[in-house]
C-alpha cells in the first residue's frame, strides 16, 4: 500500500547545525510553503541561547517537539532529501 503524500516542496539546501545533515530549507514553489509550516509552534529559543540562529532539520525539530510534549502522532512525518521534502 502506498502512502498518500499530503504536501511537498523543494528549497535550497541548508546544513543542520545540530546533526550536520543536509536538508531543504526555505519557502519556495507555487504555494510558498516550507515544511516547517506543518509543525506546531515549537519553542526553539534555547537554541538561540546556544548561538544557533539558523534553521534545523526536520528530524531534529521533530525530536525537540517530542521533548517539549507534543505527541509524535500529531507531528508531520517529513521525508527529505537535500533539496526536496514531502509529508506522508
Residue 37 grid coordinates:
509550516
- Pairwise CA distance, residues 6 & 25, whole Å: 18
Decide if residue 34 touches Zn ion (CB under 5 A): no
Question: CB of 61 within 8 A of CB of 40?
Answer: no
* Residue 59 Cβ vs Zn ion, minimum distance, rounded to whole Å: 5
Decide if residue 16 touches Zn ion (CB under 5 A): yes
Decide if residue 52 touches Zn ion (CB under 5 A): no
Decide if residue 60 touches Zn ion (CB under 5 A): yes
Nearest Cα neighbor of 29 from 55, 10, 12, 14 is 10
Segment interacting with Zn ion (CB under 5 A) among 4-12, 34-42, 50-58, 70-78: 50-58
Amino acid at each position: 500500500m502506498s502512502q498518500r503524500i499530503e504536501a511537498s516542496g523543494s528549497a535550497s539546501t541548508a546544513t543542520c547545525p545540530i546533526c550536520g545533515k543536509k536538508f531543504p530549507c526555505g519557502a519556495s514553489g507555487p504555494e510558498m510553503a516550507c515544511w516547517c509550516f506543518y509543525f506546531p509552534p515549537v519553542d526553539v529559543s534555547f537554541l538561540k541561547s546556544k548561538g544557533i540562529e539558523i534553521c534545523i532539520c526536520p528530524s531534529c525539530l521533530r525530536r525537540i517537539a517530542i521533548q517539549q510534549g507534543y505527541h509524535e502522532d500529531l507531528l508531520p512525518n517529513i521525508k527529505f532529501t537535500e533539496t526536496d521534502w514531502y509529508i506522508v
